[in-house]
Amino acid sequence: MELVRDSKWLQFQLTPILQEIQIDSESTLQWCPDFINKEETNSLFDHLMKELNFEHTQITMYGKPIHLPRLQSWFADEGIVVKELFQKQKQHVWTSPMQMLKAQLEKQLNVKFDYCLVNLYRDGNDYINFHADNEAKDIIASITLGATRKFLVRHLRCFGKNLTRKRKQLTNPEKKDYEFSLTNGSLIVMSGATQQYWKHSVPKEKHVKTPRLNLTFRTL
């Protein structure tokens, strides 16, 4: 499908857009299952698969080198440095469709994003374990393109934790476990203290045979 590179190419649903879920007194999830329409998601998916070089990032865990169970790339302005990223490759400069997507997100959420980490889950064997994004500030906006995958959010108390990394007492929400089905074109936003009090994951799903791109817009 040809990309139409003009101001009408990405027409997002702006109002109403997000269902807001207050998961504890300091942490919020916002959710929209159809932020981008299906025709545009297909075009954007094809565009990114063509434009990006995906790296099979290697990290050291318990003294041994391992490859992450997914591929990665990223977008940012020239000169942006993100020390927390494991990738060796230089950032890709924002393409026109990505600039438009970034601008719409910034308008909707009233925040300035500095970079976008792109994860490629090749099929249901690729995954990410429960974690919190240590480098994240107040907000992460996550868009799914392609295959539907589960997204799990669990409070630190589910892992036997009593204190956060900053030695603050944990919140004690009534519900401590959430599951979302991240469909093609969906948007989920984690904000407030979500990264302090909660972990999230995309588990393996062996029945999933097609790829998924996850675009996570972040601040420095």
Residue in the block written with tokens 């972990």: 199
The residue ranges of every structural domain in the chain are: 26-57+64-218
Nearest to 186 by CA among 23, 13, 50: 13
DSSP lists the bridge partners of residue 105 as none
Nearest to 29 by CA among 204, 194, 184, 159: 194
DSSP lists the bridge partners of residue 218 as 115
Q: Give the domain 26-57+64-218 fold.
A: Jelly Rolls (2.60.120)
Give tens-digit pLDDT for 80-106: 888 767 677 889 999 999 999 999 899
What is the gyration radius of the CA atoms in the chain, in angstroms? Answer: 17
Q: How far apart are CA 93 and CA 95, in angstroms?
A: 6
Q: How far apart are CA 193 and CA 153, in angstroms?
A: 13
Give tens-digit pLDDT for 182-212: 999 999 999 999 999 999 999 999 999 999 9
- Kindly state the average pLDDT of the residues 175-184: 97
